[in-house]
Amino acid sequence: MIRYTLGRLVSLGLSLVVASLVIFAVVEVVPGDPAAYMLGVNARPDTVAALRAELGLDGTVQERYLGWVTGMLQGDFGVSYTYRTPVSEMIGDRIWVSLPLALYALSLSVLIAFPAGIYAASRRGRPGDIGVMGATQLGVAIPNFWFAMILVLIFAIKLRWFSAGGFSGWDAGVWSGLKSLTLPAIALALPQAAILARVMRSSLLDMLGEDFIRTARAKGLSRRQALWRHAVRNALIPVLTIIGLQFSFLLAGGIVIEQVFFLPGLGRLIFQAISARDLIVVESVVMLLVFLVIVVNFAVDLAYAAVDPRLRTRA
Amino acid sequence: MRWPRSLVVGAILSLVFLGGAALSFVWTPYDIELLDIPAKLQSPSLAHPLGTDQLGRDILSMIMMGARTSIAVALLAVGIGMGLGVPLGLLAAARRGSLLDEAIMRGNDLIFAFPSLVIAILITAVFGAGAMNAIIAIGIFNIPVFARLTRGGALSFWSREFILAARVSGKSPARISVEHILPNIANLMIVQGTIQFSLGILAEAALSYIGLGAQPPTASWGRMLADAQTLASIAPHVALVPGLAIVFMVLGLNLMGDGLRDLLDPRIRVTRT
């Protein structure tokens, strides 16, 4: 287990280094000088040069990359070109929208997918199964941002149960915060729940064909008892992987959903930064998202290596 | 041979959109560049079967033109994925265990670890919004899908006797890969290609919805939805129609993929995440 963990740690570090290089390189090639852009067309060259020095744009490429990475490692994400506030503060404000949204959606996805997948597997080939599978086909085909618009139309505009967008903030209480995240979370969760339910079902069906299920049945357990006591737990291993992957979809998908609901999360921050050419913000937020995704996948890998010893040897 | 029902239904749905997109090259009910403000936001009628949008343009015509964009972007993105992924996968399988194999597979893992939408947004934001950059952004994430699938499929054939026979007869690994392995894994590629095609349609819609896909005057379903967002309460059809177009197109492709899988080889299993 220690060797496996170390191996995974090395590849985690490598992924992060390559990710940071790629992001830095992509942002580096953007045409245009942020300092000139901020000061406008009438700025004097010496003012632009002074601002470039202040923003740390006058170093070599290597210096700037190292400066960016070492800064981030110390929690310093640089200073926004346009707002002149530390990027870490801007991220700090918004991550409390994006992260809860992703977690909320993930919980909903699991809450919908597990019962649906288990139900479908236990009714294999019967109308209940066909119904659930049909619904999941539809679920994976619906774009989440369109589903979000439909939800707004029905629950915010027609029924007035929720507000159509915006975020009340956590200061107004957990309940009102959760309420403003509910429609976005449902929109995000539904397509993911459809995928998860399909994985849950097929994983369970694989398990139900295993010898240990036949043994359990031979010992006198009913089909249902064998399913609940033995199959479900074992079927969870592939399901966990997908849940790990889904977290990254939900975090990234949140960028689009935040646009639908005008939520002040990381997604909106990225878009504002892109249109204002605030490259340091774009770079840092994208890096943060990639970091979160890579670390979550790492944690999932470790979690199921801990659960299933067979996986450790693959490292 | 009986055709799987999902294949028939899926193929019909997909053909409707492919046909509509093809037809739009020679004919659309109305010219979508002609604005007719007095006729704005009309509900579906005989003159405009799917209604009109906020500028009085015929939505059916817009959907036909948008299908062209969606299909072109998704198809080219699958082309990039297959064009680079399949040769890489074949190479990795032919040199299995080598440093090259290791490098290709680690590279794949790395791309998989990135949240694709975030990177697609980064690419299109930096290099400019547009259909071409959307194709590249979506295509990059198709490469590891096909590389992995090809390598896995190819490896299962490299140990077979007919490959051994080909090696004994003096064929080079490259020739064996192309002449013997590739035809045998073509089924897998077709099925996965259909699935990536449908994912590409969804990705294109999301990118153009947030304004990073095809730019005006090119019609696109995602941007139609973005335009419709504030109008949905007055004229629901402007928001419903493009969304339903996406749903039916993606549903059709997914059903077709499932049906093709059953038809071509009941044993193969394709991963879908």
List, run by run, the mean pLDDT of 10-residue segments along chain B (273 residues). 83 93 86 77 80 83 91 95 95 90 85 77 78 89 93 89 90 90 90 93 91 85 89 84 94 91 65 43
> CB of B223 within 8 A of CB of B209?
yes
> CB of A100 within 8 A of CB of A180?
no
- pTM of full prediction above 0.90: no
Distance of CA A203 to the CA centre of its chain: 23
> CB of A186 within 8 A of CB of A250?
no
Average pLDDT, chain A: 84
What are A222's two structure tokens?
A: 């009913």
Instruction: Determine which of B117, B124, B256 to mutate to test the interface with A (most A C-beta atoms within 10 Å).
Output: B117
Can you tell me the distance from the alpha carbon of B37 to that of B55, in angstroms, rounded to the nearest whole number? 5
A153·B198 Cβ contact <8 A: no
* Closest by Cβ to B118, choosing from A143, A259, A290: A290
Task: Write the CB contacts of A106 (distance below 8 Å, at least 6 apart in sequence).
Answer: A189, A192, A243, A246, A247, A250
> Nearest Cα to B40, choosing from B248, B234, B253?
B234
Torsion angle of the four alpha carbons A238, A242, A245, A250, in this order, in degrees rounded to the nearest 10: -160
> CB of B24 within 8 A of CB of B60?
no
Torsion angle of the four alpha carbons B58, A261, A289, A109, in this order, in degrees rounded to the nearest 10: -90
Can you tell me the distance from the alpha carbon of A148 to that of A146, in angstroms, rounded to the nearest whole number? 5
> Nearest Cα to A255, choosing from A241, A272, A238, A243?
A272
Question: What architecture is domain A88-314?
Answer: Orthogonal Bundle (1.10)
Can you tell me the distance from the alpha carbon of B149 to that of B142, in angstroms, rounded to the nearest whole number? 11
B113·A15 Cβ contact <8 A: yes
Mean pLDDT in residue range A281-296: 85
Q: Which residue from A minimizes the CA distance to B225?
A: A146
Mean pLDDT in residue range A179-202: 92
* Closest by Cβ to B225, choosing from A146, A248, A270: A146
Gap from A178 CA to chain B (nearest CA, Å):
23
Can you tell me the distance from the alpha carbon of A311 to that of A297, in angstroms, rounded to the nearest whole number? 15
- Owner of token pair 């067979």: A310
B210·A152 Cβ contact <8 A: no
- The conformation of residue B202, written as its DSSP 8-state character, comes to H
Helix axes A2-28, A61-73, angle to 10 degrees: 130
Taking contacts as CB-CB distances below 8 angstroms, the residues of chain A near B109 are 11, 15
A274·B125 Cβ contact <8 A: yes
* Closest by Cβ to A143, choosing from B121, B205, B236: B205
- Owner of token pair 């496996």: A4
pLDDT above 90 covers a percentage of chain A that reads 20
- The conformation of residue A228, written as its DSSP 8-state character, comes to I
* Closest by Cβ to A15, choosing from B110, B118, B121: B110
Whole-Å CA distances, A248 to A227, A294, B38, B78: 30, 8, 46, 22
A157·B233 Cβ contact <8 A: yes
Task: Write the CB contacts of B5 (distance below 8 Å, at least 6 apart in sequence).
Answer: B259
> Nearest Cα to B250, choosing from B197, B192, B188, B191?
B197
Enumerate the domain spans of chain A: 2-73, 88-314
Can you tell me the distance from the alpha carbon of B138 to that of A285, in angstroms, rounded to the nearest whole number? 20
* Closest by Cβ to A297, choosing from B113, B118, B121: B113
A101 pLDDT band, cuts 50/70/90, is very high
Q: Which residue from A minimizes the CA distance to B120?
A: A252
- Owner of token pair 């992509």: A26
- Letter for the amino acid at B212? L
pLDDT in tens, A129-145: 999 999 999 999 999 99
Can you tell me the distance from the alpha carbon of A19 to that of A30, in angstroms, rounded to the nearest whole number? 17
Structure-model confidence comparison of residues A230 and A31, the more confident one: A230
- Does residue A28 register a pLDDT over 80? no
> Nearest Cα to B97, choosing from B17, B151, B169, B37?
B151
Q: Which residue from A minimizes the CA distance to B224?
A: A146
Task: Write the CB contacts of A138 (distance below 8 Å, at least 6 apart in sequence).
Answer: A194, B247, B251
Gap from B110 CA to chain A (nearest CA, Å):
6
Helix axes A232-261, A144-151, angle to 10 degrees: 70
Find residues 169-228 of chain A whose CB sits inside 8 Å of chain B.
195, 198
Chain B residues with a Cβ under 8 Å from any Cβ in chain A? 106, 109-110, 113-119, 121-123, 125-127, 198, 202, 205-206, 209-210, 225, 228-229, 232-233, 236, 239-240, 242-243, 246-248, 250-251, 254-255, 272-273
Amino acid B272: pLDDT: 44
Taking contacts as CB-CB distances below 8 angstroms, the residues of chain A near B273 are 195, 242, 245
Q: Average the pLDDT over each of A14-28, A35-49, B46-60 and give the range with the smallest value.
A: A35-49
Amino acid B90: pLDDT: 94
CA angle A86, A21, A295 (to 5 degrees): 75
Task: Write the CB contacts of B208 (distance below 8 Å, at least 6 apart in sequence).
Answer: B69, B134, B214, B220, B221, B222, B223, B226
B206·A290 Cβ contact <8 A: no
* Closest by Cβ to B273, choosing from A143, A245, A290: A245
Amino acid A311: pLDDT: 66
Task: Write the CB contacts of A282 (distance below 8 Å, at least 6 apart in sequence).
Answer: A27, A270, A273, A274, B122, B125
Q: What is the DSSP string of A173-191?
A: -HHHHHHHHHHHHHHHHHH
Q: Average the pLDDT over each of A16-30, A216-230, B139-153, B257-271 and give the range with the smallest value.
A: B257-271
B118·A141 Cβ contact <8 A: no
B117·A137 Cβ contact <8 A: no
Can you tell me the distance from the alpha carbon of A101 to that of A264, in angstroms, rounded to the nearest whole number? 11
> CB of A268 within 8 A of CB of A90?
no
Taking contacts as CB-CB distances below 8 angstroms, the residues of chain B near A30 are 126
> Nearest Cα to B203, choosing from B263, B125, B131, B154?
B131
* Closest by Cβ to A19, choosing from B114, B233, B251: B114
- Letter for the amino acid at B132? M
Domains and CATH numbers, chain B: 5-18+50-238+249-272 (1.10.3720.10)
Find residues 59-88 of chain A whose CB sits inside 8 Å of chain B.
none
